[in-house]
């Protein structure tokens, strides 16, 4: 029995440490530690809900749009606002642009280098590579001979530029197994993805004024007013992104899968899934029925237990436990009665070892993220998702309707491309819908508040999963604010019952061939797309600064 540590985890947002105990070549225990420090919930105190919506975006530069929308929804629930139909469509477009940016960035530029070795592409046969492009049904918008020469120049210079610092030399028989030709194709797509995720950010900037940290989404709707030129630009960019995603991402996934089939056998996680839903659907508004609103989203809300049966969310089942994190006490708080009282002790896997709180639903850990959203959508019978998951299942020789086939490191990685294609298609649909709404005279983009006091919760999704913003407003000023981020769910430490969080459970059982470079563990971590910048919000012990205790304005329970 020995221990291996990955610290820091690279190619993620924020700072993350993973410590694993390895027995007989497999992980037998694991501890995931979030190590960055923030204070957004404190910053928004005594500010207006409009201020808060802009400030909380600064939690993260990858998914700021999701934070402004979750915060805006919380404010709208508190202040009696129902946004207009055009504002709903524009909000969906802004969110969709960010989802496309994040999903493309994650798949190619953050996770792909766990499977793709650009060095191996140096021996690729160009003719065979082009033949493989055609056989795999994927796209190619790059000059492969020129790319190969560029890689040769990198290697001859003793460096790989953006491809440096990875584990291409891991001493593990399952480390990197693609053919040189497929490595060359995927390296080309890695570089194309840099351009496509940038184009998705341009869409968000067109709608939001800039990106990251858009300026036009506010409680009450949007400050963005469409013009003919803006809509033409929007349509052109959306069409370009859709075409590339449709031609490239799922074919690449299917081309990679046979070379790493063993990654379908580990990395399951806790086997329970939670999604609040995202992209508000037609039939707007929903007569203040928040549950129906969440169920009728394009990616609908759903809580799935071990049997993968889907139920509606109950807010009072959401809890946070403090006993294994760097906060005072070992209490469990129930939504929205959360308390944050930081107290760093030391890193001790037998006691407290992370700044991430332990989020739970009904006392149990739940996984959030794209797979949770797609499972919920499949169970809610969203036609596009059902068709695509069934098609992908057949391509992977899995039984139709058997979602458990995706409960693994590679399954979690593969299924997310269905979401990317779905959102890319929806972006085309919403652009057309907005054009029709404007032609029909719908030019209302902002709705003012009807009161200056109240409480509300914004259930929404970031690309990484379920996002919760809750606020209490009194006299137009925020009296209390709480946030639970997707990675709070996924990176949760051991709970009061001794159960590991979702990522820790996914790591247990992962094969380790090289203790110094445990590549399969890294693949598993990246399959969750962690964001610890989002997961931790509270303190900065390095400066000696101690923030005051944050208690729920509803009273502590």
The residues carrying an active-site annotation are 13, 60, 63, 67, 464, 487, 531, 534
Q: List b or e across 366-389, with b for residues whose CB sees 16 or more CB atoms inside 10 angstroms.
A: bbbbbbbbbbbbbbbebeebbebb
Question: For strand 217-218 and strand 454-462, is the pairing parallel, antiparallel, or unpaired?
Answer: unpaired
Three-class DSSP category at 404:
helix
487, 532 Cβ separation under 8 angstroms: yes
45, 474 Cβ separation under 8 angstroms: no
DSSP 8-state class, residue 265: S
Distance CA(466)–CA(265), nearest Å, equals 26
C-beta atoms surrounding 172 within 10 Å: 17
Three-class DSSP category at 79:
helix
Q: Residues 205-211: contacts with CB within 8 Å, 24+ apart? A: 206/230, 206/233, 206/234, 206/237, 207/90, 207/93, 207/94, 207/97, 207/234, 208/65, 208/94, 211/64, 211/98
**438 to 129, 231, 429, 432, 434: CA distances (angstroms):** 47, 11, 14, 10, 6
Look at the block and give the residue holding tokens 């493989």. Answer: 132
How far is C-alpha 89 from the geometric centre of its chain's CA atoms? Answer: 21
Look at the block and give the residue holding tokens 């140096």. Answer: 122
């Amino acid at each position: 029995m020995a221990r291996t540590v990955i610290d820091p985890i690279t190619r993620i947002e924020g700072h993350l440490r993973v410590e694993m105990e390895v027995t007989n070549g497999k992980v037998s225990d694991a501890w995931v530690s979030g190590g960055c420090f923030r204070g957004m919930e404190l910053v928004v105190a005594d500010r207006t809900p409009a201020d808060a919506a802009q400030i909380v975006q600064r939690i993260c530069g990858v998914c700021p749009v999701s934070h402004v929308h979750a915060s805006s929804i919380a404010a709208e629930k508190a202040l009696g606002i129902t946004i207009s139909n055009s504002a709903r469509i524009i909000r969906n477009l802004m969110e969709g642009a960010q989802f496309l940016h994040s999903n493309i960035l994650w798949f190619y530029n953050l996770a792909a280098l766990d499977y793709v070795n650009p060095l191996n592409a140096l021996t690729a046969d160009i003719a065979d590579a082009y033949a493989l492009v055609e056989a795999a049904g994927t796209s190619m918008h790059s000059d492969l001979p020129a790319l190969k020469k560029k890689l040769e120049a990198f290697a001859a210079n003793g460096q790989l530029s953006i491809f440096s610092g990875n584990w291409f030399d891991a001493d593990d028989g399952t480390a990197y197994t693609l053919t040189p030709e497929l490595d060359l194709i995927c390296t080309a797509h890695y570089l194309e993805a840099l351009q496509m995720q940038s184009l998705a950010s341009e869409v968000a900037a067109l709608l939001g004024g800039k990106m990251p940290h858009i300026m036009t989404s506010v409680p009450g709707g949007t400050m963005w007013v469409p013009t003919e030129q803006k809509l033409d630009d929007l349509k052109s960019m959306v069409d370009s992104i859709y075409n590339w995603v449709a031609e490239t991402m799922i074919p690449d996934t299917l081309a990679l899968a046979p070379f790493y089939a063993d990654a379908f056998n580990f990395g399951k996680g806790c086997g329970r899934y939670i999604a609040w839903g995202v992209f508000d659907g037609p039939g707007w508004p929903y007569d203040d029925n928040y549950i129906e609103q969440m169920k009728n989203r394009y990616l609908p809300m759903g809580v799935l237990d071990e049997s993968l049966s889907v139920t509606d969310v109950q807010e009072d089942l959401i809890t946070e436990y403090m006993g294994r994190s760097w906060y005072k006490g070992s209490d469990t708080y129930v939504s929205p009665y959360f308390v944050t009282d930081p107290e760093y002790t030391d890193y001790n896997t037998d006691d407290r070892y992370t700044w991430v709180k332990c989020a739970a639903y009904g006392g149990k850990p739940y996984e959030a993220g794209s797979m949770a959203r797609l499972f919920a959508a499949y169970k809610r019978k969203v036609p596009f998702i059902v068709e695509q998951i069934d098609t992908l299942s057949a391509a992977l020789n899995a039984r139709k309707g058997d979602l458990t086939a995706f409960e693994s490191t590679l399954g979690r990685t593969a299924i997310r491309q269905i979401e990317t294609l779905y959102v890319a298609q929806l972006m085309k649909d919403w652009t057309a819908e907005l054009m029709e709404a404007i032609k029909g005279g719908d030019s209302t983009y902002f709705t003012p508040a009807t009161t200056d006091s109240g409480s509300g919760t914004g259930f929404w999704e970031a690309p990484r999963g379920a996002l919760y913003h809750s606020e209490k407003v009194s006299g137009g000023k925020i009296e209390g604010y709480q946030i639970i981020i997707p990675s709070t769910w996924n990176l949760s430490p051991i709970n009061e019952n001794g159960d590991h969080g979702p990522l820790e459970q996914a790591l247990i059982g992962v094969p380790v061939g090289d203790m110094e470079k445990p590549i399969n563990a890294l693949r598993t971590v990246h399959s969750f797309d962690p964001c610890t910048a989002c997961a931790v919000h509270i303190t900065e012990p390095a400066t000696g600064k101690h923030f005051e205790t944050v208690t729920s304005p509803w009273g502590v329970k």
